[in-house]
Amino acid sequence: MYRYEIKFSNDIPKYLEISKHIKKLIDENNIDDGEKLLSIRKLAKILKVNEVTIVSAYKKLEAEGYAYQKMGSGTYAKRRDTNIKFKKEYSNTLKKISSQNLKSYVDFTGEITSSEFFPVTVFKDVLNEVLDRDGTEAFAYKESLGYEGLRNSISAFFWDNKVSSEDILILSGAQQGIDIVSKSIINVHDNVIVEKPTYGGALTVFKWRRANIFEVDILEDGVDLIQFEAILKKNRIKCFYAMSYFQNPTGATYSFEKKVRILELAEIYDFYIVEDDYLSELIYDNKEYKSFKSLDINDKVIYIKSFSKIFLPGIRLGYMISPQKCKEYIQNSKINTDISTSSLMQRALDLYINKDLWKEHISRLNTAYKDKYNFMLDCIEKYLGDKASYYTPGGGIHFYFKIATDLKINSMELFYRCMNKKVLITPGVLFYKNAKEGNNYFRLSFSEIKKPEIEEGIKIISEILKEK
């Protein structure tokens, strides 16, 4: 137990020195995230202090987010989110680039469809038709679950009426859905599993709820099941957050076999799967994918879908399907959050779907993005093939890269050097609980840029990597 050796000062309370020392051990990875700390009695004996001092030290660690207690089991280490500093730094840097100046950059950070594909004219006609049809009724907040017409359309068009419209809750986008689920089912120190790496917005929400976050490496066909099951065996897990299609940031898609096994594990270990259906419409490899929700026979999946990424970002619409057991909690949480999502936009989207305009829009998007996807692949192979490893997602809007180990450059350094040459990338540090683990990764999205910019940007990134 040499790592707990402390030289006490007469000027500082012993419990403060103990908590400071343990924090340092956790920050420097000498104590693993989730590792059980020594019992109060044992540590008091080692340090030759009374047990009340250790209790005070452990309470301070808990208060500062460095530890959590399991009833009847003991106190466990909790590594703090080192991502905050990097995220703030990255965000502030992008904010300094005005919208006007942004046009001079090759921007690989975008996560929405290009404005050239926004169906503005058609949607304006649909809005006018809704206003002519419904008048002032189009602005009413009457239905807490969302506009019934839209819920019926979602049930029919996307789920072949296999999901009741009463189980569908209209949201203001996927981020609100994650937030509502978190408020509804996650309490302080509850255990959640996330993919590693994963969407930074989800990490922020779970962190805000003060949940204990366990990360599991994501492979090309979904999370590593050996790691996943090991965590399940040792911990009482409340939920698993997963992006089932073209995961952000890696682009990975779960295999059918892994989905089935994870659903079995959800029943065995009694946890919910929070499925964020990110980009299931943008499939270029002609494979047939099935969501966790479509395979769910035990009512263990909370399904979240956003229309913002592939339609009009400004309309902020999405929906959620909840298991019966937690449906009431989730619906009440939504009502307490914002009462109702824009009635006019819900009615307009409903009409847009029923006129088969949605189907046409997605068909156009697939054609255009498949072409850009294949062009991006060619450019990556031509310019980055020997400088970074990656795999082909087969759909979606981005690629995730691991910088070759011999290049000795980290993702934040690459971000700044690219920015100085008018290219914007997303550094991998944003997608991990421990930012250091993303040092060798970066993401490129092709959703909002044209082919000439794609090639120009990738050439510049290649030249910068070559300099090292």
Report the C-alpha gap between 226 and 234 in whole angstroms. Answer: 13
Cβ pair 205, 178 in contact under 8 A: yes
pLDDT of residue 301: 97
- CATH code at position 16: 1.10.10.10
Q: Is residue 117 part of a domain?
A: no
Q: Is residue 44 part of a domain?
A: yes
Share of the chain above pLDDT 90, in %: 43
Q: Do 240 and 384 lie in a common domain?
A: no
Q: Do 72 and 209 lie in a common domain?
A: no
Report the C-alpha gap between 387 and 404 in whole angstroms. Answer: 5
Q: Do 308 and 340 lie in a common domain?
A: yes
Model confidence band, residue 219 (pLDDT cutoffs 50, 70, 90): very high
Q: Do 166 and 211 lie in a common domain?
A: yes
List of residues 6+ apart from 388 with CB closer than 8 A: 401, 402, 403, 404, 465
Q: Do 103 and 160 lie in a common domain?
A: no
Q: Do 415 and 293 lie in a common domain?
A: no
pLDDT tens-digit map of 419-449: 999 999 999 988 998 877 888 999 999 988 8
The total of structural domains in the chain comes to 3
Which of the pair, 4 or 465, is modelled with greater confidence?
465
Q: Which two tokens stand for residue 385?
A: 């093939």
Report the C-alpha gap between 348 and 338 in whole angstroms. Answer: 20
Per-residue pLDDT, averaged over 287-293, amounts to: 89
pLDDT of residue 66: 85
- CATH code at position 295: 3.40.640.10
pLDDT of residue 98: 63
Owning domain of residue 402: 83-110+360-467
pLDDT of residue 157: 92
Q: Is residue 120 part of a domain?
A: no
pLDDT tens-digit map of 177-196: 999 999 999 998 899 999 99
Report the C-alpha gap between 52 and 388 in whole angstroms. Answer: 53
pLDDT of residue 377: 95
Q: Do 350 and 442 lie in a common domain?
A: no
Q: Is residue 364 part of a domain?
A: yes
Report the C-alpha gap between 212 and 237 in whole angstroms. Answer: 9
Q: Is residue 127 part of a domain?
A: no
Q: Is residue 131 part of a domain?
A: no
pLDDT tens-digit map of 224-279: 999 999 999 999 999 999 999 999 999 999 999 999 999 999 999 999 999 999 88
363 has a pLDDT exceeding 80: yes
Helix 148-159 and helix 343-354, axial crossing angle in degrees, nearest 10 = 40
318 has a pLDDT exceeding 70: yes
Q: Is residue 129 part of a domain?
A: no
- For residue 187, the number of C-alpha atoms closer than 13 Å in the C-beta half-sphere is 1
Which range among 37-51, 79-93, 284-298 shows the weakest confidence by mean pLDDT?
79-93
Domain end marker among 336, 355, 374: 355
Model confidence band, residue 468 (pLDDT cutoffs 50, 70, 90): low
Q: Do 39 and 177 lie in a common domain?
A: no
Domain end marker among 355, 376, 406: 355
Q: Is residue 243 part of a domain?
A: yes
Q: Do 154 and 69 lie in a common domain?
A: no
Report the C-alpha gap between 323 and 301 in whole angstroms. Answer: 6
pTM value is 0.82
Q: Do 149 and 291 lie in a common domain?
A: yes
Q: Do 349 and 366 lie in a common domain?
A: no
pLDDT of residue 72: 72
Q: Do 293 and 422 lie in a common domain?
A: no
List of residues 6+ apart from 257 with CB closer than 8 A: none
Which of the pair, 304 or 66, is modelled with greater confidence?
304
The residue among 39, 46, 80, 38 whose CA lies nearest residue 63 is: 80
